[in-house]
Amino acid sequence: MTRAYPTRGVNYFLMIVALLTLGAYGARADFIDNGDFEAVDSRIGATNSMALNNLYWWTEWWDTYTSLPSETGVGDSWTEGTLANRIEVQRRAGHGLVVELDTHGATGASEMFCCYNSSMQQTFEIGPDDPNVFWLAFDYRSRLSEWQDAFNTSDVPDPGQGLTTFAVGVYLDGQQVMVVDKPTQEAWQTQMSSEIQLTAGMHTLEFRALGAADSYGGLLDNISLIAIPEPASFALVGAGLIGFFLLRRRQSA
């Protein structure tokens, strides 16, 4: 009989933490849909006529699309943003599908259709009971080596002259909140915004290619908008943890 009590204590504790976590995150941890671009279907690309679910090294590993599917198939998909001109999807080692917004244009891969700084956006809703403070996080890397191979130079493009060709701008409701421009960052690196305040209602997150439009840009993956738990929730979890360990110490003593 005495052995049953600690086990039940642990279960109650886990249940309380789960409820607090759900409460803190408004029942979902991420407000962006298909941020890793792994939701695919048979839609056909505009440049290489490749189905999105058939981008592989042994076929054609990239194409451009006017929109990308959502995970559920309804709502919250990525669509062309204010700059339009297609969303370029590529398959990259270790990251599956990723996006590069310095894209080729419509049908035909000839130079006259290359290149456009394009953009993509997603509209999402913050509910009345959701948190209002967020971090935006996403993975980024540049294509410096590939750019150097293509242009037969060891230079970093546009050194010290504003933005390089690998720059990406991030906009919330049309306002720029981040610019990432790291030409020598060729290993994937997670970028993190400072705290972002968002009121309840509809919002638009947009990514745009900046710098020169030359088909080489910044690669993007794993975009997420993470709710920051409110201090009260942290305090409750902390109090629960302290109570739990005090209980355990007393029982083991």
The contact set with Ca ion (CB under 5 A) reads: 36-37, 88, 95-97, 100, 102, 165, 212, 214-217, 221
Q: What's the first-to-final CA gap in the chain, in angstroms?
A: 18
DSSP secondary structure string for all residues of 68-89: E--SSSSS--EEE-TT-S-EEE
Among 191, 188, 189, which Cα is nearest to 179's?
A: 191
47 vs 121, beta carbon nearer Ca ion = 47
121 vs 215, beta carbon nearer Ca ion = 215
- Residue 5 C-beta: closest distance to Ca ion, Å: 46
Answer yes or no: are the C-beta atoms of 109 and 46 closer than 8 Å.
no
- Residue 13 C-beta: closest distance to Ca ion, Å: 35
Tell me the two tokens of residue 213: 């439009």
Return all residues near 23 (Cβ < 8 A) that are at least 6 apart. 233
- Residue 209 C-beta: closest distance to Ca ion, Å: 6
24 vs 46, beta carbon nearer Ca ion = 46
131 vs 183, beta carbon nearer Ca ion = 183
- Residue 167 C-beta: closest distance to Ca ion, Å: 8
Tell me the two tokens of residue 4: 């049953």
- Residue 213 C-beta: closest distance to Ca ion, Å: 6
- Residue 244 C-beta: closest distance to Ca ion, Å: 38
Give the residue closest to Ca ion by C-beta: 165
Answer yes or no: are the C-beta atoms of 82 and 95 closer than 8 Å.
no
Among 98, 101, 41, which Cα is nearest to 71's?
A: 41
138 vs 216, beta carbon nearer Ca ion = 216
99 vs 196, beta carbon nearer Ca ion = 99
Tell me the two tokens of residue 26: 């408004």
CA dist 133 and 196 (Å) reads: 6
